Amino acid sequence: MDYLTFLLVILHVHKALCEEIFWDTAVKFAENMTLECVYPSVSSFTQIEWFKIHGVQKKFIGIFHPAHGVVVREPYDKRLHLLNSTTAPNKVILSFYNASEADVGTYSCLFNVFPRGSWEKKIRVVQSDSFEAAAPLNCHVVSESGKNVTLTFQLQVDWPVQQVTWEKIQPHQIDLLTCCNLSQGRSYTSKYPRQILSNCSQDIRRSSILILNTTAWDSGLYRCRFTAHSGENETFVAKLTIIDGKTDNQYSLFVAGGTVLLLFVVVIVTIFVIACNRRRRRQKGIPFKESWDTKSKAVNNYRSPISATQPMEDAREDIYVNYPTFSRRPKPRV
């Protein structure tokens, strides 16, 4: 008998992995809001059910069956639609169009997948200000799409870490990415639609996540929280910006074009200024042979190494060629 009790206790403890996080996604309450579930692979579903969770009870909202269609139960049919996605066959959406405060709470989508069994995601609807406002930034990471990105945080204080969680934060939504209970050395399997790799090992004051093959969709705020046995916690927030490789090329092309244009303008202005100066000097009748000689020497010094050592730089060559041919013209007149 005692042995059985012990077994039950063990079972209960095992169920307690990251238990206080009883949701996978938190969504900000709004009159029009959408709750999404994406099954991590494309499989054949027998059916997908939606529930609202009240303590240990589940209240049925509706069901989607690929062959038989959609059924939504009574009070809910007046304030929400149950949709399947046209873009992804493994995605279902609960779309409220007239939600009231009574709709705050926790929802569950339950996929029945043949032959794997069931898969459940819990979504919590909370009344809140923008989630991003409560996340002061620690650093900003910029990367290009298609690259792998690792975000790492090192805990400074010296208390024993019990749990590490990573979340992605958007103004209207928080997604749990990983939750690692260090005393168990195990991670909670996230219901986030992207695969996020992370380590969950005994001795860590440092935690990192690896996002493979990033796209612009991965941009946003990532929050890491270390929690101690005593309940103390320390959070870090990184902003990740993924820029499109193509945009980057266009940008450098734009910069290069701008530089050439600027050089061109500088050359024109220089020529114009020299021409004006010369005319003014001629009008004043001041002899400028001396100054011309030094200038001519300077030009020659400058030009010869370019033509001798870098004959390939056509653009630069053109620019300097303009200067001497123009300024040499009046030489015979002097």
Q: Residues interacting with ligand NAG, by CB under 6 A?
A: 13, 16-20, 31-32, 69-70, 84, 86, 89, 97-98, 100, 146-148, 162-163, 181, 183-184, 197-199, 208, 210, 212-213, 215, 233
Q: Is 81 helix (H, G, I), strand (E, B) or coil?
A: strand
Tell me how far apart the alpha carbons of residues 169 and 243 are, in angstroms, rounded to a whole number. 19
Tell me how far apart the alpha carbons of residues 215 and 217 are, in angstroms, rounded to a whole number. 5
Give the nearer residue to ligand NAG in terms of CB position, either 171 or 258.
171
Give the nearer residue to ligand NAG in terms of CB position, either 249 or 259.
249
Give the nearer residue to ligand NAG in terms of CB position, either 143 or 296.
143
Residue 54 Cβ, how far from ligand NAG at the closest point, in Å? Answer: 20
User: Are the beta carbons of 196 and 190 closer than 8 angstroms?
Assistant: yes
- Closest CA relative to residue 191, chosen from 128, 135, 108, 82: 108
127-138 CB burial, b ≥16 within 10 A, e <16: eeeebbeebeee
User: Are the beta carbons of 29 and 92 closer than 8 angstroms?
Assistant: no
Tell me how far apart the alpha carbons of residues 332 and 334 are, in angstroms, rounded to a whole number. 6
Give the nearer residue to ligand NAG in terms of CB position, either 146 or 257.
146
Tell me the angle at which helices 314-328 and 245-284 cross, rounded to the nearest 10 degrees: 10
Give the strand pairing for 117-126 and 25-28: parallel
Residue 181 Cβ, how far from ligand NAG at the closest point, in Å? Answer: 4
Residue 306 Cβ, how far from ligand NAG at the closest point, in Å? Answer: 40
Give the nearer residue to ligand NAG in terms of CB position, either 146 or 330.
146
Give the nearer residue to ligand NAG in terms of CB position, either 34 or 199.
199
Give the nearer residue to ligand NAG in terms of CB position, either 70 or 271.
70
Residue 55 Cβ, how far from ligand NAG at the closest point, in Å? Answer: 19
- Closest CA relative to residue 236, chosen from 206, 213, 215, 259: 206
Residue 125 Cβ, how far from ligand NAG at the closest point, in Å? Answer: 15
Residue 14 Cβ, how far from ligand NAG at the closest point, in Å? Answer: 7
Residue 184 Cβ, how far from ligand NAG at the closest point, in Å? Answer: 5
